[in-house]
Amino acid sequence: MLAIAKSSRSSHERELVNWSLAETGGHMQVLGVGREGDTTTQAQIDVDVTAATTANGNVGFRKGLRVNGIKRSAIDFVGNLNIVFFEADDLEIIHGSPGRRRRYLDILISQSDPAYLKSLQRYGQVVTQRNQLLRRVRDGLSEPDELTFWDDRLAYEGARVTDSRRRSIDGLNEHAVPAHSDLTNGDKLELEYRPRITASSDDRPNVGAMTAEMIEQEMKKALPGLRRREIAQGVTVMGPHRDDLEIRLNDKPAQNLASRGQSRTIALSLKLAEAIFVTRSTGRTPVLALDDILSELDPDRRLLVLEAATKHEQVLLTSTEPGIVPQEYLETADIYTVMNGRVTQDAIANPLSNE
């Protein structure tokens, strides 16, 4: 939450509120402090809940964001603390819908490029307004010529989003491919950006050598050929909201053929690459948070994963199996136990500590 201003677990933040708090009302806070060299950043999320007073159990829910005590909008909050987070649901990056992969890219880029989130928000507003106009044209309430303005805005904002995604996938490829090779002793991983900037979904130009201006012109050229179809459907059928990221394992689509163990390794490779990408983009080292990463991996691959993780400055690793982490890694770690909602530090002392 402190990295992206919302939960990765739920699209409805009211679901995060404890029932007892929902019934009685109250205040809760999530706060974290990050330090990078001489710079300290405090990110804070405050939630005020008004007790349910209606028959359907609705509660009042107000969220406030602050950075170093100063109120911030969600756009200005994201990216002040950088966290690369792996969870079991990240297997959906490989097996899920294109929307899940777009969300992964959006979170990655937003943490490293503040301008991207603003471009993405503007693009979403353009698509919403354009869809409304398409339906009005279809219903005879507006003229087709009114679409010209929104076509230009769609191409302009969409090209900036597409260009940012193109560059981010280039960066991921640079680091995810060798990371995956190391974790698998040579399996081949490939990432290919599949943007939707032409009239045909089968015609996908190579955007690798295109600038944002060139992508914009390509979109403008394609839109007239889609107008009749878009008016009939009442939706925008081209643009970054239709993009996909193709992931291939040993030259075959990972979405259809990768096992759960292979998928976990691919997802972890993406996260390790993401950590390097964020560091190089921002100059700040992100926290690497790995939730139950070692389950479903064989012992040899667990060691490879742990070895890769220890190359990062700060790693939070969780597990439900106490004996799954080899002793040599436990000896240099601070160990905490979570039981019945309470967190306690393990009695095993860190031999590197002065305490």
- Flag whether pLDDT at 23 surpasses 70: no
Contact 151, 223 (CB under 8 A): yes
Who has greater pLDDT, 152 or 61?
A: 152
**How many angstroms separate the CA atoms of 213 and 156, rounded?**
8
Query: Which CATH number do you get for residue 95?
Result: 1.20.1050.90
Q: pLDDT, tens digit, for every residue of 289-318?
A: 999 888 878 888 889 889 988 888 889 999
Tell me which of 53, 77, 101 is where a domain ends. 77
Does one domain contain both 24 and 123? no
Q: Which whole number is the average pLDDT over 76-97?
A: 90
Q: How many Å separate Cα 76 from the centre of its chain?
A: 17
Question: Is 50 inside any structural domain?
Answer: yes
**Residue 199 pLDDT more than 50?**
yes
User: Can you tell me the distance from the alpha carbon of 347 to that of 345, in angstroms, rounded to the nearest whole number?
Assistant: 6
pLDDT band at residue 81 under the 50/70/90 scheme: confident
Do residue 172 and residue 261 come from a single domain? yes
Q: Is 28 helix (H, G, I), strand (E, B) or coil?
A: strand
At 350 the pLDDT is 44
Instruction: Enter the DSSP assignment of 73.
Output: -
Q: In whole angstroms, give the CA distance from residue 199 to residue 197.
A: 7
pTM above 0.85, yes or no: no
Q: Is residue 338 part of a domain?
A: no
pLDDT score at 349: 46
Strands, E assignment, the chain: 26-36, 39-50, 60-67, 70-71, 83-86, 189-194, 244-249, 252-253, 287-291, 315-318, 336-339, 342-345
For the cut 90, the answer to whether the pLDDT of residue 203 exceeds it is no
Half-sphere exposure for 76 (CA within 13 Å, toward CB):
9
- Encoded tokens for 295: 């389950």
Once rounded to an integer, what is the mean pLDDT over residues 186-201? Answer: 89
Question: Out of 10-19, 164-173, 183-192, 294-303, which region has the weakest mean confidence (pLDDT)?
Answer: 10-19
What's the rounded mean pLDDT across residues 5-16?
70
Cα separation values, 61 from 50, 56, 90, Å: 7, 15, 28
Q: Which amino acid is present at 64?
A: G
Q: CA 27 to CA 50: how far, in whole Å?
A: 9
How many other C-beta atoms can be found within 10 angstroms of the C-beta atom of residue 163?
22
pLDDT in the model for residue 57: 58
Number of domains forming the structure of the chain: 2
Residue 24 and residue 161 in one domain = no
Average pLDDT over residues 38-67: 78
Radius of gyration of the chain (CA): 23
Write the CB contacts of 314 (distance below 8 Å, at least 6 apart in sequence). 285, 287, 288
Q: Report, as an integer, the average pLDDT of 141-161.
A: 96
* Structural tokens at position 216: 């914009």
Cα 224 from Cα 11, distance rounded (Å): 35
Contacts of 287 (CB under 8 A, 6+ apart): 34, 81, 82, 83, 84, 314, 315, 316
Domain that holds residue 26: 1-77
Of residues 16, 191, 218, the one with CA closest to residue 108 = 191
Flag whether pLDDT at 352 surpasses 50. no
Over the stretch 236-253, which tens digit does the pLDDT of each residue have? Answer: 999 999 999 999 999 999
Identify whether 344 is part of a domain: no
Residue 328 in any domain: the answer is no
**Which among 283, 295, 354, 294 is positioned nearest to 329, based on CA atoms?**
294
Percentage above 70 pLDDT, the chain: 90
Same domain assignment for residues 96 and 240: yes
Residue 355: pLDDT over 60 = no
